[in-house]
Amino acid sequence: MKLDHIDNKLINLLQEDSKRTNKQLSLLLNLSVTAVYERIKKLEKEQIITNYIARINPKKIDKSFLVFCQVKLIQHSREYLSIFESEILKLDEVSECFHISGDYDYILKIYVKDMEEYREFMVNKLTSIKHIGSTQSSFTIGAIKNSTKISI
């Protein structure tokens, strides 16, 4: 599906606030409510829009300690990758996991309460996964830019 400038504007508006009504979007895009509805349905059908979420303030739920942890497996085999990935999916503390190039195999985005909770996570959960060779953790000091928006 080829996106036109109205699709791009609609996607950007929805990324800024997905709770905007079709009426509000129609006024911003100078389209009818029906046209907006049809465009949104088409974007969903084509899986350009995959879901709608509520963004949570980690401070309000006692999960403000954000860690980026790089993980290197002892061997980069399909079996070890598969085991690691299936185990990571079970860990609620891990909000994002990416298979990456470079010195490490994966980078994890982890939300916990504090350093003590992170230590418990590392000792009891992460390092109990088979075939991990090494990890390197970076602790955030502050957020400069934290967005889910993909600009188009």
CA–CA separation, 52 vs 19, rounded Å? 9
Encoding tokens for residue 9?
């504007």
Query: How many structural domains does the chain have?
Result: 2
Whether residue 133 has pLDDT greater than 90: yes
Picking from 148, 152, 151, the residue whose alpha carbon sits closest to that of residue 55 is: 148
Domain interval for residue 27? 5-45
Q: What are 15-48's pLDDT values in tens digits?
A: 999 999 999 999 999 999 999 999 999 999 999 9
Same domain, 9 and 64: no
Single-letter residue type at 88: I
Same domain, 65 and 135: yes
Question: Residue 88: which CATH number?
Answer: 3.30.70.920
Within-domain flag for 69 = yes
Within-domain flag for 131 = yes
Within-domain flag for 118 = yes
Q: What is the pTM of this model?
A: 0.89
DSSP reduced 3-state for 51: coil
| Predicted pLDDT at 103 | 95
Q: What are 98-130's pLDDT values in tens digits?
A: 999 999 999 999 999 999 999 999 999 999 999
